[in-house]
Amino acid sequence: MLEPEKRETDSEKDRRRRIGLSWSIICASGLNYAGVASLIVFWHFDLVGYILSMFAVSILIGVLLIDFEKTIVHSISGLVIGNLLAAAIFLAPFSMFGESLAAVNIATLVVLSLIGKHLLISVAPFLVGTILGCLIGQQLDDMRL
């Protein structure tokens, strides 16, 4: 009548641990990219500084995750989450303090145009930084062994 207790096997625990690690890496890289996006939204950082910051964060993620395919997926996911987070942080006061719809629309237009313009320009340095980070991570891993 009573079903025997279902116990998690080691493979299920390992799978959950990997999923948790994967999500934590995506969230951490999202926060890094949100910091980079906030440079252009709040302080109107110039394009060169934004590209260098994006390049540095991409290298760091590539060094941490040596596998190229996993690094690209995690980096792009983190990039999307980070830019959405930076836009939400910038637009939150407009909606919280009851600004008019026109003010919210103008702020949304400004934020999305800033983020979109910089994001399109920084795709190539983003990919180059990720590839370079993966190569550096492989070299460091080989030196460790």
Distance between CA 119 and CA 79 in Å, rounded?
A: 9
Q: What is the pLDDT of residue 98?
A: 83
What's the number of CA atoms in the CB half-sphere (13 Å) around residue 118?
27
Q: What is the pLDDT of residue 95?
A: 83
- Structure tokens belonging to residue 22: 């994967």
How many residues comprise the chain? 145
- Residue carrying structure tokens 């983003």: 126
- Structure tokens belonging to residue 125: 């340095």
**Among the listed residues 32, 7, 137, the one whose alpha carbon sits nearest the alpha carbon of residue 83:** 32
Distance between CA 135 and CA 120 in Å, rounded?
A: 24
- Residue carrying structure tokens 């290298």: 59
- Residue carrying structure tokens 């400004």: 110
Q: What is the pLDDT of residue 86?
A: 92
Q: What is the pLDDT of residue 7?
A: 62
Distance between CA 103 and CA 50 in Å, rounded?
A: 27
Please give the average pLDDT of every successive group of 10 residues along the chain, which has 145 residues. Answer: 60 86 89 89 85 92 89 91 92 88 91 90 92 93 83
Q: What is the pLDDT of residue 45?
A: 83
